[in-house]
A and B are shown apart, each in its own frame.
Chain A
Amino acid sequence: MHGSADDPLIARVADALRQPVPLAPGFDARVMAAVRRSPPSLPLRAWTWLREPRVVAVSPLGVLAMAAGMAGLLVVGAVSREPGAGSREPRAGSQELTTVAAAASVTFVLVAPQARSVALAGDFNDWDAARALMRREASGLWTVDVPLTPGRYRYVFVVDGRRFVADPAAPRAVGDDFGTPTSVVTIGGGGTHAAGGSL
């Protein structure tokens, strides 16, 4: 069917459509209530939950626990950075120390047939000889394995509990601050280092 705005029938229909539709009282309120009842999407709910300010009650004990946890994380971090923390690597021969990757088990060797005891003191064990007593092997060979991370370490052998002996086969530290020669061992990321000698 074809027609135009000048058609009387079309004009009457258009007038009727232009009249406002009477709505029942409370229609708007019912629609809005229905909208509010419909559940929002999950992301919208999550975003709303995250943005909404709320009060969290924490007991003093809980606060202490949180503080202790933070301190624990710091301590764990500090310990993991200490020289010696790490996995062991295969040891090398009596004269050669092999250092591999992050932490390597370094074998320190001293030939001292006359010694009754030999210990190792250095930057890696708080210079406490009691923490690295060396084992006596055949022919007066004394050895001990120490895990070391890359770095440069100063050390001495402590013979018979009182005599400080520098490693005859290792470089000497520059400057003996305390009047006794000190040796150094350097651990690289993947180098081979020698240490150990005889008295």
Chain B
Amino acid sequence: MNAKPLMLALLLGALVLPRAARAQTQRLTGRLPEHTRAEVAALVDSARGAGLPADPLVNKALEGASKGADGARIVAAVRALAGGLARARAILGAGATEPELVAGAAALRAGAPPAFVERLRREYPREPLVVPLAVMADLVARGVPADTAAQSVLALVRVGVREAELVAFRHSVERDIALGAPAGAAAAIRVNAAERDLGATVLLPGSLPPRPRKP
């Protein structure tokens, strides 16, 4: 190909590719007042430029629009989420998936100790961490102290529980709390029950992780 068509193709590509990337922000059109849309779009573009996922930010803005929130509140929520995603990525690493970043941001917002998230990633660098992080956040939302929730999830992951078992653990804790058990005690009791069910010793944080169980 000679120079002119090549240059033309590159120029068109430079024009077209950002348009495709901005398709997400176009989901905001018609859903937000123009000045709010522009502010949110700028935040989303900035986050994308920093390598953060755009979809969760757009979703947050659309949630606000759907619930009739005012523009300032929407922008503040989007900005806060962008910060949360950035913190999650700083801990989980650049290779973290979008669902992991979303779950990680939720866990950190819930009060998960950053050291817990970091340790989880360090010990399981190639395992998807969406469910452990989400269960941790869910437990805190149900009133389990953040440290207890983090230690419980880490201990269960270390004995090789499957995702379904981790979710079942969360269900059990929620049920106990609904029946009147103190949230922290409910988590501790259920971790011990998991120890019996799995026939394994739930290790305290700081111990070496055992080999994961096979499905």
Residues of chain A at the chain B interface (Cβ within 8 Å):
55-58, 60, 62-64, 66-68, 70-71, 74-75, 78, 82-83, 121, 123, 126-129, 150-152, 154, 164, 171-175, 177-180, 182, 184, 186-194
Contact = CB atoms under 8 A, between A and B. Distances in A.
Contact of B164 (A56, A121, A154, A190): A190
Contact of A186 (B2, B55, B167): B167
Contacts of B62: 126-128
Contacts, number: 145
A190 B102 contact: no
DSSP class of B's interface residues: helix, strand, loop or mixed?
helix
B117 interface: no
| Among all A-B residue pairs, the 10 with the closest Cβ atoms | A191-B163, A151-B99, A188-B163, A171-B138, A127-B66, A186-B134, A67-B12, A177-B77, A188-B131, A127-B62
Given A78-B20, A188-B128, A150 B12 contact: no
B20 A74 contact: yes
Interface size bracket, B side: 35 or more
Interface in B8-60: 8-9, 12-13, 16-17, 19-21, 23, 27, 31, 55-56, 59-60
Given A151-B102, A151-B130, A188-B131, A182 B171 contact: no
B65 interface: yes
Nearest to A66: B9
A128 B12 CA distance: 34
Contact of B131 (A68, A179, A186, A194): A186
A178 B69 contact: yes
A21 B80 CA distance: 94
Contact of B142 (A57, A78, A171, A178): A171
